[in-house]
Structure 1
């Protein structure tokens, strides 16, 4: 299969890289530090200032994420990058502090509550469809459009009924922080302690402070006002308590988790939808098949949660987009005690990574891994569990996974049922990972009525 028959991908490195070459590559695109051999081996190890391992073997990954999870907490690099913005929220916290927060937040993401939020997703899908149709035959950056649509969703399910909170202000602050602080610092690679200032984070500190102040104000205002007729995410989190200890989140904990959900709740879904639309424009046969399914299920309507069971192929497109372009392309952990993975010694302090991008393209696990084939997921039970990790796995699997999938299927089905999408020659996106795997240059597509 020639390169022209494959969707865009990142050529992985074939030679060892020194520390400064690794730093330059990581600041430009974290995927560029992944060795090509990681797509052909179960585990790769090396040293760049400190010992590291990349693990692609499903059984070893199962040990890290499930059987021996306490030995592999989030890496110092991950915590240093994100803690200034989202504090000790679910994404960062460890041990007992993580467990009680997870128990308290879990009811907010129950199947019933996620389904109850679907009308907000359907409304955003309709608004997006209207904007795309209004562009006529002009090219639209679908990444920007999907960010707008998914931020509408997360804004409305998080802060409904006229909150004083301004989602656009938080969106700008988040983007400023990711841009300034998300590019890996040499201090992080060298393992400098957290109290050593990072220039990017010092620069972005004011934006983060303003963002937290806005969120604190919104939380306190909601405490005073009480829940609305249909509880939104903030209402559900305010009501949530640890069933074991009866502890509830205080304002700071609510704020940090809300900011985490806002970032994860729109960024990852926007990326999934952007890449899915690119892939459908890349393969018109797949797009036609998806459109036929969507039109039969929807009969001219906007998609709702009730339609999900009738849209299995569109769900498979979402799954395959998450395989080829996982929003979190690398999971990084720091070993706490000696262990053995794939018969190889892991020492305390070693960085142990699961390079999701390489795992999802590993030739030991997938046939023609760089090809776009949604039918891989026609039978999800046949997919090896720890070979496919778009949302992680084990106790720390993404709490919002079902929310994200529901939203992605509703939006994608709505758009494909009404519009036919085409690539713009010479404007292919480039997969670039800083904190998430974004399409550098945007996803520029033209469309016409279906």
Structure 2
């Protein structure tokens, strides 16, 4: 056991367990913080197996992970639990779909996220960063919850790059519907653990169903209004998606397919980036030396202005802080798959129907692959080529790697650099966040920091 001094210098972490629980205990814990079902030994072993209602395996071996995410992708689709949780909100979109239905959507959407398109959208990120720093400055010397601030900022970005110009898009209605769904319907049901089919009612999802229907109606109206109006100025994500077609079949997305994918981009594109930024702010407040170095870098590049897309490549330490935040607090801290065929991973038999989990949180803190895995050390990303791509998976990997990864990283660098160039942040004593994952790994209790002009 590390001594008290060692614990004090490490950022907050999830207390992993030293025992295997039964189904009822696992269900209770999963509804509160799903990462707490991960055993501590997962940070020092390559595979851990057990049975909780059905056979399961947690895989932390890079070769086995490559086999699942690349070589035998179709044999390891997303689990029923994942699909049942998210389908009511985002339908059979890119995140949910499998096989041919996924492939044509991916081919259609991939050109949307080219570097050129992302650079064209960067001014929206810069403007959102300016507004965020003004809100923090206007708050004065009191403590600010940077989780709420980053959620507001990234939702501004995703709303503007998705539905620019209004088009009857009710931002507040969509934002509240997403929050309601995540908080109520996202909690794992006993039916999910047991693998019950989607038609078995889940009470939380029944309660949130109207909010989801309202959100989809709002998005449908916005898409139809845009189709009638046509593009205006720099193409946003909706314009680009409406113009997109599958290069193989020539198929284009209809209104419901565009809506489900746009809602996927909105949910993923603001929630995960907001969390990455909130955790990054917590970490630089935790380590003032890193913060001072990052501020010096940002001020040298930016002077008094906000960061732009052209600045991103000139801010390597800012990017390393974001990479390290994604390592310590990956938004998707645990990913679940269902084996569709017999296989062998790490010398262990995998049977058709087994649940195979990738506990990204444990992988990123594995003693086998990382020096001082629980420490905040952005410099470990100074040489990205030295890191095995299958031991660092904040965006997944293989053909299903997150389609918006470059968008998210560009946005995060722009916002973090702007914020650190203008403020010195310090933690509020006694208000450390608690890492809790239901659908995403959030800082429970918020990220409370004081901010003073730099």
Structure 2 residue 123 is matched with structure 1 residue 115: no
What is the SS of the residue equivalent to 1:365? Answer: coil
Residue pairs, 1:195-214, within 5 angstroms: 195-214=199-218
Alignment correspondent of 1:301: 305
Structure 2 residue 234 is matched with structure 1 residue 253: no
Structure 2 residue 318 is matched with structure 1 residue 311: no
Structure 2 residue 145 is matched with structure 1 residue 141: yes
1:4-61 per-position Cα deviation (integer Å, ceiling 9, x unaligned): 0000001100011010000000000001111000000000000000000000000000
Alignment correspondent of 2:361: 357
What is the SS of the residue equivalent to 1:352? Answer: strand
| Cα distance in 2 between the residues matched to 1:414 and 1:214 | 33
2:381 equivalent among 377, 384, 409: 377
Structure 2 residue 178 is matched with structure 1 residue 174: yes
Alignment correspondent of 2:91: 87
Alignment correspondent of 1:25: 29
What is the SS of the residue equivalent to 1:46? Answer: strand
| Cα distance in 1 between the residues matched to 2:390 and 2:287 | 28
Structure 1 position 318, deviation (Å) = 0.3
Which runs of 5 or more residues in structure 2 are unaligned? none
2:279 equivalent among 275, 283, 294: 275
2:80 equivalent among 76, 81, 97: 76
1:257-308 per-position Cα deviation (integer Å, ceiling 9, x unaligned): 0000000010000000000000000000000000010000111111001111
Alignment correspondent of 1:446: 450
1:96-151 per-position Cα deviation (integer Å, ceiling 9, x unaligned): 00000001011110010011100000000000000101111100000000000000
2:106 equivalent among 94, 102, 124: 102
| Cα distance in 1 between the residues matched to 2:304 and 2:206 | 51
1:220-240 per-position Cα deviation (integer Å, ceiling 9, x unaligned): 111111111211110000000
Structure 2 residue 240 is matched with structure 1 residue 240: no
| Cα distance in 2 between the residues matched to 1:108 and 1:266 | 17
What is the SS of the residue equivalent to 2:252? Answer: coil
CA RMSD, aligned part only? 0.6
1:365-384 per-position Cα deviation (integer Å, ceiling 9, x unaligned): 10110000000100111111
Runs of 4+ off more than 4 Å: none
Alignment correspondent of 1:432: 436
Alignment correspondent of 2:419: 415
Structure 1 position 309, deviation (Å) = 1.5
| Cα distance in 2 between the residues matched to 1:168 and 1:373 | 38
Alignment correspondent of 2:71: 67
Structure 2 residue 327 is matched with structure 1 residue 323: yes
Structure 2 residue 57 is matched with structure 1 residue 53: yes
Structure 1 position 161, deviation (Å) = 1.4
Alignment correspondent of 1:338: 342
What is the SS of the residue equivalent to 1:117? Answer: helix
Structure 1 position 410, deviation (Å) = 0.3
1:330-353 per-position Cα deviation (integer Å, ceiling 9, x unaligned): 111000000000000000000000
Q: Which moved more, 1:15-24 or 1:159-168?
A: 159-168
Structure 2 residue 169 is matched with structure 1 residue 161: no
Alignment correspondent of 1:405: 409
Structure 1 position 162, deviation (Å) = 2.6
Q: TM-score, normalised by structure 2?
A: 0.99
